[in-house]
Chains A and B, each alone.
Chain A
């Protein structure tokens, strides 16, 4: 039996809000999915895939819409099950650096080595792509500690991907962004342009070792890839699957944002990630304002903030409009110049170039 592709796609992607063929919505969280429900959904998804779209299209989400995750931070108890699941699932992608590291020039270029600290789980590192951030806040006059799973925000228009000079960072149509460790040179531009400084570098691994290891590059950048390989196979990201509290759900971005707004309205809460940096695919819902969370948590290297972030790519993309106008202006200026020259040919000849027969150099 095949059901509508919408329902199947949503279930395949592990959606928090399933939309059936008739448009009826069925809400669920990952922890509450029964085996029967999941298997039935998976079978339906596989069937729909075979008939309709193929795995790649399905992983992209219905109608090519990006997938987003919703994190209800009221539910997180800080057990780190997601952190452990992430490490177990993605451990094979972690760096295996070759030591000793090549001497790098000039001396200001520092080694970024986390290989001896692989057990660090209280911040982002090349060996830890998800950590639990703690924030002390006041709710109804009572001091409370919130636990917030932090990882890559998977921006809708990710600067790390768009500004990577090599193309080592890529975004997939389903909205996840990830780095290709075979191409990345570890220049950390992605880390510099990321509003949350999420990407983390490991020296002694990657392509730069085969090029000019002393003079260019410094390893490979790492961050959450939202389990792209699991998603492609119709499985949930490991952190979502492992969470015993159902903190995270995943689904079409529009549905996830609608659900986030519904929860926020219900609890008088707040949303982070829907508008930040022009929109991200990691949406947090909190019972307290995020500036309070930001003030009550420790942030710095490897520990992202929760402050407002303007769209970093907006100015550049606005300037792109000038690239459409500029050629038209050039043509207009040329025509105007020629018309003026036609009206006063002698004056123009004298003014335009003292020696036109020499042609143009440069």
Chain B
């Protein structure tokens, strides 16, 4: 059971779903900026939805919910293992960036509720930090994929 728990997040199905979720989040997240229409990407047949802000907003929220579920699934497995695998350096970097994305993302969701006021400077900082974290995560993920780096070492 300990071994199963520790490797819950390492099944190929989990990895594929995780990667798909991150791609959906990245695309729908960048679609929150007015760039896809300006640069004709939304003109490509089948991609017109990229210029629909409310739709991409909903997709981003759905992706965020899925990501939270996947993270909870993997972390529960990791915490339940008697012999917990240790994060590699690359895994630790990605974990920190992912944690930052989750925290800033959740704060942005809270901000969007009616009657929630956040100081304007905080909102600017939060938006910029969320964007910076996702850019850093993309770089870290590419670096890990090219270098075939693992998230964890097996005990």
Contacts and interface: CB of A to CB of B under 8 A. Distances in A.
Contacts of B64: 323
A192 B149 contact: no
A357 B71 CA distance: 20
Q: For chain B, what secondary structure do more than half of its interface residues adopt (helix, strand, loop), or is it mixed? A: helix
Interface in A141-170: 156-157, 162-163, 165-168, 170
Contact of B114 (A156, A180, A193): A156
B114 to A, nearest CB: 4
Interface in B1-36: 1, 3-5, 7-12, 14-15, 18-19, 32-35
A345 interface: yes
Nearest to A356: B7
Given A156-B114, A165-B32, A330-B72, A322 B8 contact: no
Contact of B117 (A168, A173, A183, A328): A173
A319 interface: yes
Q: For chain A, what secondary structure do more than half of its interface residues adopt (helix, strand, loop), or is it mixed? A: helix
Given A162-B111, A166-B127, A189-B53, A362 B145 contact: yes
Contact of A358 (B54, B72, B150): B150
B141 interface: yes
B114 A317 contact: yes
Contacts of A337: 4, 8, 77
B57 interface: yes
A36 interface: no
Nearest to B114: A157
A360 B10 contact: yes
Interface in A187-205: 187-189, 192-193
Interface in B29-68: 32-35, 38-40, 53-54, 57-58, 61-62, 64-66, 68
B77 A322 contact: no
Q: Which range holds the interface residue count of chain B?
A: 35 or more
B57 A361 contact: no
Interface string A336-358: 01100110010011001100111
A341 B34 contact: no
A171 interface: yes
Interface stretch (A229-237, A257-265, A308-316): A308-316
A163 B112 CA distance: 8
Contacts of A192: 34, 53
Given A316-B58, A327-B71, A341 B114 contact: no
Contacts of A316: 54, 57-58, 61, 112
Contacts of B76: 330-331, 334-335
Q: Which range holds the interface residue count of chain A?
A: 35 or more
Contacts of A172: 117
A278 interface: yes
Contact of A356 (B1, B10, B34): B10
A315 B149 CA distance: 39
A325 to B, nearest CB: 8
A170 B73 contact: no
Contacts of A338: 1, 4-5, 8, 77, 80
**Which 7 residue pairs are nearest across A and B when measured between Cβ atoms?**
A330-B72, A359-B150, A157-B114, A167-B124, A334-B76, A326-B69, A187-B34
Given A162-B112, A317-B114, A337-B8, 9 more contacts: A187-B33, A193-B54, A320-B112, A322-B65, A330-B74, A341-B4, A349-B4, A352-B11, A359-B150
29 contacts: A108-B40, A157-B114, A157-B115, A163-B53, A163-B57, A166-B124, A173-B117, A188-B34, A313-B114, A316-B54, A317-B112, A320-B112, A322-B62, A323-B68, A330-B69, A330-B70, A330-B72, A338-B5, A338-B77, A341-B4, A356-B154, A358-B150, A359-B10, A359-B88, A359-B151, A360-B150, A361-B149, A362-B19, A362-B145
